[in-house]
Amino acid sequence: MIDIGVSDRVFVLTGAGVSAESGLPTFRGAGGLWRGYRVEDVASPVAWARDPLMVWQFYSMRRKAHRGKQPNPAHLALAKLEKALGERLFLCTQNVDKLHEQAGSRRVVHMHGRLFQSRCDRCDRPPFDDENCYEDHVPRCDCGGQIRPHICWFGEMPYELERIARELERCTVFMAVGTSGVVYPAAAFVAQARASGKQRVRTYYVGPEEPANRALFNECFLGKAGESLPRLFHWSQLSAISV
């Protein structure tokens, strides 16, 4: 069990394993190939410059794959935890899907972007919600620029790293759920939390296999996140201290 007190601040990092339990293929699934291309060669600024339609066909496929997928008990448990802790829970995900939001989480930070948002590749128009599939044309902005997926591609900087760093310094509990511990910078978050120096941070991992950075966690709860996570908290105690 994981005890959370009235003064604890909880940082949760989720990865592809959480979405996979809802039936979403992982980003590097199926051998890492799409139409014979490595995913790294499709999800990149170089690919966008070379063949933006191919990039949109890839992300249109991913948008279609999301249809009908539902949050699993791990997503629901984290939404319930947010309801109990309010702003003392910081939920950061490496996933670009919207399963956390479908489960009821309201303050999710998507460090790698959002599958159902798009933005202009030229002007400073903010990212906007977009569920369309573009398989035969590349959409255009009013400024004349091309509309691209709002995704952090290989070679680009993840989003909101300054905000994430502040929360890592503030947290007293760090939990990684369904993430392998090999994709940086997220794999370094647990080390950043432990190095804050302000207090002893309790660190936990939840997932089917030990992560590559196992040595940095106080406890590992091995198993499917949807089965393990709902059982890890004293829900009656959390209800008593809920905001």
The per-residue pLDDT for 36 is: 67
Domain ranges of the chain: 10-24+70-112+158-240, 30-68+116-151
Give pLDDT tens digits for 182-199: 999 999 999 999 997 656
> Which superfamily does 30-68+116-151 belong to?
SIR2/SIRT2 'Small Domain' (3.30.1600.10)
> How far is Cα 9 from Cα 86, in angstroms, rounded to an integer?
10
Which pLDDT score, from 0 to 100, does residue 1 have? 87
Alpha carbon 60 to its chain centroid, in Å, reads 19
Establish whether domains 10-24+70-112+158-240 and 30-68+116-151 are of one fold.
no
pTM of model > 0.85: yes
User: For residue 173, what pLDDT is reported?
Assistant: 97
Tens of pLDDT, residues 43-88: 999 999 999 999 999 999 999 999 999 999 999 999 999 999 999 9
Is residue 234 annotated as a catalytic residue, yes or no?
Answer: no
Share of the chain above pLDDT 90, in %: 85
pLDDT value of residue 210 = 92
CATH 1.20.120.80 fits 10-24+70-112+158-240, yes or no: no
Q: Where does the pLDDT of residue 234 fall: very low under 50, low under 70, confident under 90, or very high at 90 and above?
A: confident
Residue 37 has pLDDT above 80, yes or no: no
Selected catalytic residue, list 112, 137, 150, 234:
112
Q: Would you state the pLDDT for residue 240?
A: 60
- Per-residue pLDDT, 161: 98
The residues pairing with 108 across neighbouring beta strands, listed in sequence order, are 91
Name the band, by pLDDT with cuts 50, 70 and 90, for residue 35: low
